[in-house]
Structure 1
Amino acid sequence: MDLASQDQLDPVSIYYLNITELNSFRFDFNERCGFIFQCLGKNPFYLRGELEYQSFIEISKEDSKMCVDQIHSNNEQFSLNFQTLYVFNSNSQVGILSDQSDGSNRNTIIYIVTSIGLSFLLIIIFACFKCKKRASQVNNLFGNSSSMSQKITLIRQMNKFMPIQTFEELIRKFPGLSDDLCCPICLENYQQDHKIRVSYCTHFFHSDCLDLWIEKNEICPTCRSSLNYETLNKLTNTDNNDDGLYQNASSTKQISNYSSQKKIRLFGEHKSANSPAVPL
C-alpha cells in the first residue's frame, strides 16, 4: 500500500513510497515504534533489513537520488524491473501525524511569519531609536537655547571689555607684563603675533584659550576673579572705569592701593600676583 496515502499503519501490512520525482519526505508517528524503512535497490529482501526505533521516518532528496540510481543500476545489471521504491514495515500499529509535504508547508509558513515578525521588530526598534534621538536633539536645542544666548552675549561683552589684541601690542603698551611669557591655560609661549585677551584683573591669555575656558569656568584662571556675564556687563556699562573697579574691589585697602598697584603691575616697578582689578 502507498505510504503517502495512509494515516494509520498496522504491522501486518507492507507499505511503499514511490520516489520517482526525487522529492524529500518525512512522516511523524503518534508514538515511537520499531520499523524497517529502506531503498528497494539497497536490499530487495527488505524484511531482513535493520530495525529502527524512533517516532518518525525521513528521506532527503539526496537519499532519493541515490536510491533511484541504485535501482536503475541493478535493473540494467541483472535485467530486473524493480520500481523506484522505498519499502516500510512496522512492528506495531501507529498513526501518521503528518507527511513531509505538510511539514514543509508548515515550516515554510512558520519561517515566513517569523521573518516578517523579526523585520517588523527591527523596524520598530529603529523607529524608536530615531524618535528618541530626534527628541533628544530637540530637547538639547531648546534646553541649550538660553545658555547659547547667554554665551553669545558673554562673547560680545568680552569683545567689548576685553578686546582681542596681539601680544606685541600689549607689551608695547604695558612693558610690566613682559615677564609673563606663556599662557596659563595652554602653557604655550606667547609669540609676537598671538592674539591675546586681557582681563580686568590684568591677567592675559590666548583669546581662543580664554573663550573656551569661560564656557565652563567663568573665573580668571590665574586669580579666580569673576568673569561671568553679570560682572562683565556691570563693568562694561559703567561710565567711570575707576568707579567700576572700586565697586568690584573687596576691601577699603584694595581701593586705596589701586593706583600704585596698577602701575606696579602694568609698568614693571615690582610684580604682584594679587593685583586688584585694573581696567585695560
Structure 2
Amino acid sequence: MISIIYTLIQTCVGDILYQNSFNSILGIQSFPLNQYCSSLSQEYKLRVMLTQQSNKHSLLAICQMNLNDIEKFQTLFQQDNGHDSNCLVDYNAYILENQTQQIVLTQQKMPTLVSEYHNIFSIEDNSCFAIIYSNFNSILILTIERIGIDECVVNCKNQGICMKGLCQCPLGYLGFDCNIVSSNIHQNSYFHGLQIFYLDLITLQTNDFKLILNQELQYTITCYADSPHLLSTLNQSSVIYISEESITKCKEATETLRVFTQLKYYSQFVIITNTTTVIKLAELEEQYYSIILVASVMAFILGLIVIFITLTYLLKIYKEKQIIKNKQRFENLMPAQQFMSVSDRFPESKSETTCSICLESFTSSSLVRMTYCEHVFHSRCLERWMKNNKICPLCRASLDTQTIQSKKKIEPSTFKVKNGQGSILQQLSLFPKNDGSLHSIDGSLSYHSPVIRSSLQITQPKKFELK
C-alpha cells in the first residue's frame, strides 16, 4: 500500500499520460503504447512504471512488437535474448523484488550498452508495447509519464548525480538510479546469504582475478558496463576467476559508455553470491590454521620459558641454602679463630708465620682457620680456596666434608662428671677463644691449653674416718 501511495505522489508532480489499476492474470497481458510513442518528440521521453503490492512480483517488458508467446517471453530471462526480441526488461528490479519496475522510452538512438545500463528503450517505427507477465493474481498499477529529455526519471540515490537526464553513480552503487548497494570483494573474508560485490578494475594490481574458496559457491559474475543485468549465468565452483581477456573487454565497454554519454563510469565486475552456509577464502582458512599453529608454538615456548625461569629460581634458592649450609658446616668443622689462640694451643704452628695462599704474614689478631692436617691459613683465603678446591693448599690432603667428618674425634665419655653438669669439655668451652679456647680443630682438648697444662686425673674423694 505504501508503494502505491508513493507512486501516486510521484506521478502527481509529472505529466501523466496514462494510469490504470487492474488485476493481473495468469500469463501475459499486453498494452499497446503506439499512440504515446508516435507522438513523442525529441525534447521528451516516457517513463513506463509498473507498481505492485504483492510479495510475488510480475515482470514488465517493453518490446518493439507484441509478444504473446509465454515460452518466448520466458527466454527474456536468458542473457542477451532481449536484444534478439527487441525487448527491454528491468531485470535488476525484478531480481531484487522491488515494488516498482520502470523503463524509459526515447526517440534517440543509442548503443545497446547505454540502453541496458540506464534502462532506456529506443523507439523504432513508432511501435512499442508494454507486456506484463504474471504467474499469480495481484493488483497492479501501470503508469506512463512524460518528462523532459534532460531530466532524470527518478531522484538519484546514494549521492548519485543527475547529469543530462542520467544518474552518475559513485563506485559501489549500481542501477540506473544508484539504488543497488554493493561491497568491495577485496574487503570481504566470507560469503553468506545473498550478497552483491564489485571488483574495481582500476585498482586491480594483477592482470587477472582469482579467489580460491574452502568449498563450492553459487555465484554470477558480469562486467557491469557490458551487461548491467544482475540476472546472468549461474556458476558453481570453489574458484572465482576472471581472465585477463575478460578484464580487457570490460574496460573497453566502459570506455564506450563514457564516450557516448560523456559521463564518468567505473570499470567493474559485479559478483552476486548466494549460499546458506558460511564459505570462507581458502587463504584465510590457511592463515587461521597458521595462526593457531604459531599461537600453539608461542604458547609452548612461553611455557618452556616459564618452566626454565621457575627451575632457575628454585635452583638458585637451593644453591643459596646449600651455600649457607656448607658455610655452617665449614664453620663447625674448621672454626675461625685468632692466630694467637691457635699458636698457644699448638706451639708447632708458630713456625707458620705466613699464609701460603695469599703469602701475607699472620698477626696475633689475624682470623685464621686450621685444617685437620694442622696447617694454618687466613680464614677468608681458605674460604675462597675451598670454593674450587677440596684439598689442602700445602700437603694436598683431602678436605672434603666426608673426610673431615670421619677424622673428627668424638668426645670420650670418661670426661663426664657425676654431678650431672656435663663434661669438662662442655664447661670449659664457654671460655672466650682468645683466652685459649679448648676447641682445637678436631674438637678435642689441647695439651697446651692455659687451663690444663698436664694430664688431668679425676678421683673419688676419700671418706672421713675417725680413728
Higher relative contact order (CA 8 A, sep 6+): 1
Work out whether the TM-score is over 0.5. no
Structure with higher Rg: it is 2
Higher strand proportion (structure 1 or 2): 2
Higher helix proportion (structure 1 or 2): 1
Q: TM-score by structure 1 length? A: 0.43
Q: TM-score by structure 2 length? A: 0.28
